[in-house]
Amino acid sequence: MIKIIKYFLIDIIKNKVILGLTLFFLVTSFSLLYLDENQTKAVLSLMNIVIIVVPLISMIFAGNYYFNAYEFKEVLLSLPVARTRIILSEMIAVSISLALSLGLGLGIPALIFGAGSTILYLILITMVLSVACAAIALLVVILSREKSRGLGLVLLAWFYFSLLYDVIIMTLLMNFSDYPLEKFVVFLAALNPIDLCRISMMLKLDISALMGYTGALYKEFFSSLIGSAFTLGTMLLWILIPTLISIRIYRKKDL
């Protein structure tokens, strides 16, 4: 298994896209931290960029790589290697390269400018988020037959999690504002990995006062130990469940 992960990793690095991404994160993070005197403000800008860009990049990267490595997987499949191992290796290799790219790209400037715990937390959460997004994208492309449709659906999934989901929740809250929905909203946040990460980061930045009454509830819940465990556990589920479904489907898929 480690052998196969290794070969996927070599293949990804040869692709050079991941190097470009690392450079992009490096430049973004460096310029924001360099330009802004106030580190909290810089971290806030960084968060706003990262929360939109990282899911998009992770999903497109994972989805595109699935199709790019199609022939490679065919070659591996003609060898005595189980399908489960092949698709799991691909998922692990994609996750490692995305997490490393983010860790280095955002981490190096942070270390240069003297990172606080906030920015390290932001980087860590972003790494977990990128892996969850990769897992979702992998599931979407495995379900679709051809590249153009697969990548289209990946974009749609990103659109849903980044924008549409929030619109739905807002509509819900507006229409049912007479009812006590606060606890329910915490639950709804867990159904969207991007929202969950955004909330978790915002609370770390101590700007939850901007979020009004719900923010207070969020703060109470998410800053407790149970809240942190809840965030981490839910993110792990967002990685594990799509991966497991992907494996199940891939095992029985005609290639």
Partner 1 sequence: MIQIQTLHKKYGNVRALDSVDLTWNQGDVIALIGPNGSGKTTLIKCILGLVFPSAGDIHFMGRSILNSYEYRKDIGYMSQISRFPDQLRVGEMLDILTDVRNVKDSDRDMELYEEFKIEQIRDKTMKSLSGGTRQKVNSALAFMFSPKVLIMDEPTAGLDPVAVEILKGKIHRTDKSVRLMIITSHILSDLEDFASRINYLQDGKVRIDYSFAELREKSGESRLSKAIAHILNPS
Contact residues for partner 1, defined by CB under 8 A? 3-4, 7, 11, 14-15, 69, 71-72, 74-83, 252, 254-255
User: Which of 74, 206 has the CB closer to partner 1?
Assistant: 74
The phi-psi region of residue 36 (left if phi > 0; otherwise alpha if psi is between -120 and 50; otherwise beta) is: beta
Q: Which is nearer to partner 1, 12 or 132 (CB)?
A: 12
Return the H-helix or E-strand segment holding 25: helix 17-35
For residue 251 the two structure tokens come to 């095992």
- Alpha-carbon distance 28 to 22, whole Å? 10
For residue 138, the minimal CB distance to partner 1 (Å) is 18
Q: Residues with Cβ < 8 Å from 62, sequence gap 6 or more?
A: 94, 98, 133, 134, 135, 137, 138, 141
At closest approach, how far in Å is the CB of 254 from partner 1? 5
Q: How far is the CB of 250 from partner 1 (least distance, A)?
A: 12
Nearer residue to partner 1 within complex by CB, 183 or 251: 251
CB of 69: closest distance to partner 1 in angstroms? 7
- Report in angstroms how near the CB of residue 85 gets to partner 1 at its nearest: 9
The owner of tokens 């942070």 is 110
Nearer to partner 1, 72 or 113 (CB): 72
What sign does the CA torsion over 213, 215, 218, 224 have? Answer: negative
Structure tokens at 111: 């270390």
- Of 6 and 183, CB closest to partner 1: 6
